[in-house]
Amino acid sequence: MASKIIFFTVNGIPERAEFPADCPAQEVKDLFRSAAEAGPHDILKLYNPKGNITNISPHLEPNSPASCYQLQVVAADCNRQPLGAEMAGALGFDLSSMEKRLQGLEKKILCEAGDTPAAVQDMKKQVEAFRHKLESVEHLSWLGFFKDLSEGPHQPSPFYHKRTLHKTREECEHVRETFLQMSTLEVSEELRQYLKTPTFDNWQWEDAEIMVLLQVMYTDLDFLSTFNIEPEVLQQFLFEVYRRYNNIPFHNFKHCFCVTQMMYGLIWLTDLRRNMENVDLLIMLTSAVCHDLDHAGYNNAYQINARTELALRYNDISPLENHHCAVAFEILERGESNIFRNLSLDQYKRIREGIIKCILATDMTRHNEILNKFKSILPAFDFCNKEHKDLLMMILIKVSDISNEARPMEVAEPWLDCLLQEFFNQSDVEKLEGLPVSPFMDRDKVTKPSSQIGFIRFVLLPLFMELANLFPCLEQHIIDPVRKALDYYTEMEKALDREKQNWSQSESVARTKEAAVSRTNSQTGPGPEPPNPETQ
């Protein structure tokens, strides 16, 4: 197999990478990460000789030393950072410093011995496991911290997401400034094509860059010219959307991007531009962008059971989805962020009606209703029939909203971790408030495989397969990966069952030994300790 040779610079120092043309994408990324001496959670950015951001992948175009790529470690991802200086003080050490020392030690050993000893690998795994424990055990009770609910039932824990629930003004202004600086940069053709695929990896990109990619979607679908959207108004709209997504584990701005990117990919994969009007595509993309605005991390069941302000306002009818719609149109009511301000009143009414229908369709309590209606029209589906098109648009946003398992496992599995973190937080609050505990959110009962197997089998696959009945090309793009995910979690569940069985057998043996010792002592009275059967 032929090798690719890529010449690039890191901090002005020329480097050279060589890898097989069929090398897995993750190995290529690890190669560049190693060259940059970057930590596991640092963000790498690669620029081609023209200065355009490009994707780090096996598809990089070979070059020469005269036309080097430029590799930069831009920043560490704030969503994956340790819990901050105050946590470091509480723990008595800084986890980042420990990681850097380990990286330095590993580099030194590699230079001298040419291989990383197993002991160093084991130390790295222990540090990463400890980091994961810090970031995933939300209430941190094992460190002596506690959840302070004295300010009311809806106050998030101090360690809910490492930062405040709502974004701070400083945080927003920093991202806005970075976004505006980057918004005029040309995005490479390779990245534009990658953006149209379900395999897109969202974890590489910072919030400001995500806003640039959303801008690319609106531009490449010709929305700016077709609907007379001024670039600065689109930028302000995207910033206001970013600002109104909260710092929660799952329903955050990155989730908004993933749903929008999947919708964008489906538009291209199914060639919807040929069968649907541009205004319908604009409705679908904008609905995806806005579909979870101001989500606070607690689902509709919690809103209704806790009798929250949202549940009272919307009479227990899709309180969250109604709220997301309301926030979207609050943004669109402001002239500087109203991307529809140059449309006619009739066009605006059509778009508003469509966005409301799409966002309300993401309420999972309506899942069977919408899916059954779609199945009933499929045999005679007609793109000229408005009712048929409306149902298709609702199905497309539903598919996009729950599409993580259609992505590569290294992209999808971290999203499941985020979702479970959000679920467990809700069930913790439900227990503290004496509310009904959502069974699929209880940290004492739910595991990763148990949370996914039924969901994939009874929700994802039936939904995806009906869409693929209309668009057979989607079989390989979204159904095959979901089937692989089902196999993956089925094997994980079997492994957990084997582990539980082995643990139960060990406990049984231990209890038998304890009972034998107890009987011996009761029959003979105090005396020498009985021999250990394992040493006989």
Task: Please identify every residue annotated as catalytic.
Answer: 251
Task: Please give the Cα distance from 510 to 418 (Å, whole number).
Answer: 37
Rg of the chain's alpha carbons, rounded to an integer?
Answer: 26
Pairing of strands 42-47, 13-20: unpaired
**Helix or strand holding residue 408 (H, E):** none
Full DSSP string of 84-119:
-HHHHHHHTS-HHHHHHHHHHHHHHHHHHHSS--HH
Q: How far apart are CA 338 and CA 238, in angstroms?
A: 10
Amino acid occupying residue 448: K
The packing angle between helices 461-470 and 386-401, to 10°, is 140
Residue 265: how many other CB atoms lie within 10 Å? 23
Partner residues linked to 42 by β-bridges: 76
Phi and psi of 473, rounded to 5°?
A: -65, -20
Of 416, 424, 421, nearest in space to 456 by CA: 416
The encoded tokens of residue 216 equal: 């690319």
Contact (Cβ atoms closer than 8 angstroms) between residue 24 and residue 58: yes
Tokens of 107: 């580099």
What is the distance between the alpha carbons of residues 279 and 34, in angstroms, rounded to a whole number? 46
Q: What is the DSSP letter of 44?
A: E
Q: Nearest CA to 267 among 252, 253, 242, 286?
A: 286
Buried b (16+ CB within 10 A) or exposed e, 14-30: ebebebeeebebeebbe
| Cross-strand bridge partners of residue 73 | 44
Nearest 5 degrees, angle CA 237-CA 242-CA 248? 155
Residue recorded with tokens 């040419």: 114
The whole-angstrom separation of Cα 152 and Cα 402 is 31
Of the candidates 209, 221, 149, the one whose C-alpha atom is nearest the C-alpha of residue 181 is 209
H/E element, 447: none
Can you read off the two tokens belonging to residue 293?
A: 């605005």
Residue with tokens 């534009």: 192
Helical pair 253-269 and 278-290, crossing angle rounded to 10 deg? 160
Q: What is the DSSP string of 289-343?
A: HHTTTT--S--HHHHHHTT-HHHHHTTTSSHHHHHHHHHHHHHHHSGGG-TTTTS
